[in-house]
Amino acid sequence: MKTNAAKICVPVCVPLASELSPAIARAAEVADIIELRLDGLLAAELDSIKGILGSLINKADAPIILTMRSGEQGGRGSLSLAQRSQFWSSIGSTAENCLRDFELDLVQDYNRRQDKRVDWSKIICSYHDFAGVPSNLEQIYESMATTEARTLKIAVQADDATDCLPVFHLLERAQREGREMIVIAMGPAGIMTRILGPSRGSYLTYGSLDDESATAPGQLTARELREVYRIDQINRATGVFGIMGSPVGHSLSPHIHNAAFAAGGLNAVYLPFEVRDAVSFMRRMAHPRSRELDWNLRGLSVTAPHKSTVISCLDWIDPAAKEIGAVNTIVAQDNELHGHNTDAPGFIRPLHNAFGALKGARCAIIGAGGGARAALWALGNEGADIALLVRAPDKARPVANEFGVDCRQLTGARLNQFEIVINATPLGTRGKHAEQTPATVQQLSGVRLAYDLVYDPTETRFLREARAAGCETLSGLEMLIAQAVEQFRLWTGQDPSAEVMRAAARAALG
């Protein structure tokens, strides 16, 4: 149910005029507004579009924005200012029943020429910067605000979550000054502006028809905006949660937690936060006493490479997380930030279910990062017999010494002396590491259970090698769900449905 004024604009960008009509029909199924990116048409198609444009606009089942973007401003073509001006003049009254997106240089050109033919009540004045957030962002806004354009649009590239702060501040200024505004931070680090923008006054947000038709970096699909993030129900009171790390685009956590929030009827949303500088993000956006944004941020998941870095930014740390030396869950509580580690209980619960009692069990952990630390602590508490296996023992020995376990060379090692072998490295993760494995079928022969903490894909090469060696196998998806359940309890005080979380994860994985 739509409970706010969020409008999703779906861009249509195709090379042939004949493809526009079916593309508009598909977009209308999920869009509140449709943007026709005419700069996506081949140059030879521009003349033919003029004869059908009026019909396309009149037949569309949603309001239309016409856009002819220059190459410098992210357009697919390379039309000069004069060519764009001539194009808009040539379609004349055809565009009367829709909004038109004029870039700032074109608006300024019309103003210089004092062209009286422009209906400014139907103009979006836009500016894009694909290099970053310009230092003179406020001045750019002020220059745009002097025009008669109905709506102002500014889109800038974000490289870190904190780059969204000037974007949100600009939107707040436009609200105070009564200017209709669209402000977006592009790229993965700017996703929060696309999701939260409408609830904070942005006239619209952009969502693609599918993953292949995105027209700007970081653009989510319209269905994701509605079905995963429930953008139609977000308001200023919505509790904001999210995962901070770099990268976080692959994370299933937004799918898992947003599904659980929806099933629990909670006014909450979970976002991905692409964070390079963890200390700056914690100070400027997360901590209740120093954050520079007025938002209801209530909790965070923390992933690589920040699980240890965030410790110095917290007011209180759970003793277990302190012993592990890593925090993966932060709760905003009583004007403070409290740190926890749900990786350890999330790791051990599926292992108990699959193996049984772990006291005395011979376990090998491959890797020495944050996941390995949680596994070392959890297995140590169970009384397991643990060894750390790595490719560079000298580098990992401090971790092994900290937890009082043996540190051995992985390369060429036979693992049949162990009952359980755990992959706590990123090898096997979807992407460049997908076909890599820390152990082969020959090494794993004789092992009872192989446990991979990688969850995407659920069937890694490590698990395939283990199965071929006759091992029982356990996917990292079960750890992901188990630790997410613990996070949800810490944040909300409620028990989520693990089945809802698991189904959401599997749907996201395809």
d(C-alpha 504, C-alpha 510), whole Å: 10
Domain presence at residue 234: no
Q: Are 410 and 501 in a shared domain?
A: no
Q: pLDDT-based confidence at 51, cuts 50/70/90?
A: confident
DSSP secondary structure code for residue 337 in this structure: E
Q: Are 509 and 456 in contact (CB under 8 A)?
A: yes
Work out whether strand 297-302 and strand 329-333 pair parallel, antiparallel, or are unpaired. antiparallel
What is the number of residues in the chain? 510
Q: pLDDT-based confidence at 47, cuts 50/70/90?
A: confident
Give the tens place of pLDDT for each residue, 278-289.
999 999 999 999
pLDDT of residue 90: 86
Report the pLDDT averaged over residues 107-121: 87
Report the pLDDT averaged over residues 53-73: 89
d(C-alpha 227, C-alpha 7), whole Å: 14
- The percentage of the chain sitting over the pLDDT mark of 90, rounded to a whole number, equals 83
Q: How many CB atoms lie within 10 A of CB 119?
A: 11
Q: Are 321 and 350 in a shared domain?
A: no
For the cut 90, the answer to whether the pLDDT of residue 118 exceeds it is no
Closest Cα to residue 466, out of 495, 443, 432, 433? 443
DSSP 103-158: EHHHHHHHHHHT-TT--GGGEEEEEEESS---TTHHHHHHHHHTS--SEEEEEEE-
Active centre residues (catalytic): 307
Residues 6+ apart with CB under 8 A from 334: none
Q: Are 248 and 129 in a shared domain?
A: no
Type and span of the H or E element at 421: strand 420-423
Give the domain CATH number at 51.
3.20.20.70
pLDDT of residue 70: 83
Domain presence at residue 122: yes
Report the pLDDT averaged over residues 340-356: 96
Domain presence at residue 314: yes
Domain presence at residue 486: no
What is the pTM (predicted TM-score) of this model?
A: 0.93
pLDDT of residue 3: 63
Q: Are 459 and 382 in a shared domain?
A: yes
pLDDT of residue 1: 56
pLDDT of residue 138: 96
Instruction: Tally the C-alpha atoms within 13 A of residue 178's C-alpha that lie toward its C-beta.
Output: 0
Give the tens place of pLDDT for each residue, 409-452.
999 999 999 999 999 999 999 888 899 999 999 999 999 999 99
Report the pLDDT averaged over residues 355-366: 97
Give the domain CATH number at 305.
3.40.50.10860
d(C-alpha 13, C-alpha 77), whole Å: 11
Give the domain CATH number at 436.
3.40.50.720
The residue whose two tokens read 């947003």 is 258
Could you list the residue range(s) of the whole structural domain that residue 504 is in? 242-341+494-509
Report the pLDDT averaged over residues 455-483: 96
Q: Are 182 and 247 in a shared domain?
A: no
d(C-alpha 427, C-alpha 437), whole Å: 6
Q: Are 69 and 191 in a shared domain?
A: yes
Domain presence at residue 3: no
Residues 6+ apart with CB under 8 A from 44: none
Bridge partners, residue 456, by sequence: none
Q: Are 199 and 268 in a shared domain?
A: no
Q: Are 313 and 282 in contact (CB under 8 A)?
A: yes
Q: Are 197 and 263 in a shared domain?
A: no
Show which of 184, 205, 229 is a domain's final residue: 229
Domain presence at residue 409: yes
Q: Are 213 and 128 in a shared domain?
A: yes
The residue whose two tokens read 């042939």 is 16
d(C-alpha 379, C-alpha 347), whole Å: 9
Helix, strand, coil percent content, the chain, rounded in steps of 5: 45, 20, 35
Report the pLDDT averaged over residues 81-94: 85
Quick one: tokens of 448? 């009872």
H, E, C per residue of 253-282: HHHHHHHHHHHCCCCEEEEEEECCCHHHHH
DSSP secondary structure code for residue 427 in this structure: T
pLDDT of residue 4: 67
Instruction: Provide the number of structural domains found in the chain.
Output: 3
Bridge partners, residue 124, by sequence: 101, 151
d(C-alpha 89, C-alpha 282), whole Å: 50
Report the pLDDT averaged over residues 485-506: 97
For the cut 90, the answer to whether the pLDDT of residue 401 exceeds it is yes
Q: Are 367 and 452 in a shared domain?
A: yes
3-class state of residue 94 by DSSP: helix
For the cut 90, the answer to whether the pLDDT of residue 129 exceeds it is yes
Burial 26-48 (b: 16+ CB within 10 A, else e): ebbebbbbbbbbbbbbeeebbee
For the cut 90, the answer to whether the pLDDT of residue 307 exceeds it is yes
Report the pLDDT averaged over residues 291-302: 97
Q: pLDDT-based confidence at 353, cuts 50/70/90?
A: very high
Q: pLDDT-based confidence at 166, cuts 50/70/90?
A: very high
Q: Are 148 and 77 in a shared domain?
A: yes
For the cut 80, the answer to whether the pLDDT of residue 31 exceeds it is yes
For the cut 70, the answer to whether the pLDDT of residue 375 exceeds it is yes
Q: Are 182 and 327 in a shared domain?
A: no
Q: Are 222 and 30 in contact (CB under 8 A)?
A: yes
3-class state of residue 16 by DSSP: coil
d(C-alpha 199, C-alpha 169), whole Å: 14
Domain presence at residue 309: yes
d(C-alpha 148, C-alpha 471), whole Å: 70
For the cut 60, the answer to whether the pLDDT of residue 211 exceeds it is yes
Average pLDDT value for the chain: 94
Show which of 229, 259, 294 is a domain's final residue: 229
Closest Cα to residue 25, out of 56, 66, 53? 56
Q: Are 218 and 21 in contact (CB under 8 A)?
A: no
| Most distant CA atoms of the chain, gap in Å | 85
Domain presence at residue 488: no
